[in-house]
């Protein structure tokens, strides 16, 4: 019995010490940067490829605005989508934006759209991206070159296109 009590005491001591050694980790904070309202052209399918079904959605323009940035989305980019039979689509949108004060910023936005079912069998939708923003080094937007961003779809009544909200990871 003494051996059993000693073993239990030892185990509790180890667990207690381990719990004290585990650091409390804070989640990163997000800071809203901008909302993009992207206009789209007619999509087309490249068809089934060895990697999946390839679709292309032309980006024809739009606008963006945030607390310290505003401008237009330039025509000529595209959203390249690779769909799989399980409801997952990998996206990579490549385009440029121009700020109202005349700076061009290159955008490469990669992400996942997944339509699946949750544990209860209910439909589930996931859409998140991680845009990379490349701004001129000598511009007021050079901070974008050394930042990570996340984005998710948003909604705007009456807008025909896609709305994306972008946050900087602090």
pLDDT above 50 for 10: no
> Is residue 15 a part of any domain in this protein?
no
- Residue 14 CA to residue 28 CA, distance in Å, equals 30
> Is residue 147 a part of any domain in this protein?
yes
Q: pLDDT digits over 22-38, tens only?
A: 789 999 999 999 999 99
Question: How confident is the model at residue 19, as a pLDDT?
Answer: 52
Domain extent, residue 118, equals 29-169
Beta strands in 24-158, from DSSP E residues, in sequence order? 30-40, 44-49, 52-66, 69-73, 77-83, 88-99, 104-117, 123-134, 148-154
| Residue 112: strand pairing partners | 90, 128
> Is residue 96 a part of any domain in this protein?
yes
Residue with structure tokens 């490549």? 94
Question: How confident is the model at residue 13, as a pLDDT?
Answer: 53
Percent of the chain residues past pLDDT 70, beyond the cut: 88
Question: How confident is the model at residue 158, as a pLDDT?
Answer: 87
Q: pLDDT digits over 53-89, tens only?
A: 999 999 999 999 999 999 999 999 999 999 998 889 9
From the list 119, 116, 62, 68, the residue with the least C-alpha distance to 89 is 116
Task: Give the domain CATH number at 95.
Answer: 2.40.160.20
Cβ atoms of 97 and 103 closer than 8 Å = no
> Is residue 9 a part of any domain in this protein?
no
> Is residue 4 a part of any domain in this protein?
no
Q: pLDDT digits over 34-57, tens only?
A: 999 999 999 999 999 999 999 999
Residue with structure tokens 């399918």? 45
Structural domains of the chain, count: 1
> Is residue 12 a part of any domain in this protein?
no
């Amino acid at each position: 019995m003494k051996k059993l009590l000693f073993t239990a005491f030892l185990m509790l001591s180890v667990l207690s010490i381990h719990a004290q050694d585990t650091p409390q980790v804070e989640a990163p904070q997000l800071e809203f940067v901008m909302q993009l309202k992207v206009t789209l052209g007619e999509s087309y399918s490249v068809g089934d490829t060895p990697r999946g079904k390839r679709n292309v959605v032309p980006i024809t323009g739009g606008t963006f605005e945030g607390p310290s940035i505003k401008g237009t989305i330039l025509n000529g980019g595209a959203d390249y989508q690779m769909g799989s039979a399980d409801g997952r689509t990998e996206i990579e949108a490549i385009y440029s934006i121009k700020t109202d004060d005349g700076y061009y910023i290159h955008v490469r936005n990669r992400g996942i759209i997944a339509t699946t079912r949750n544990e209860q069998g209910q439909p589930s939708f996931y859409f998140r991206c991680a845009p990379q923003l490349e701004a001129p080094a000598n511009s007021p937007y050079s901070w974008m070159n050394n930042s990570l961003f996340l984005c998710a779809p948003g909604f705007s009544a009456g807008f025909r296109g896609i709305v994306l909200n972008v946050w900087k990871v602090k």
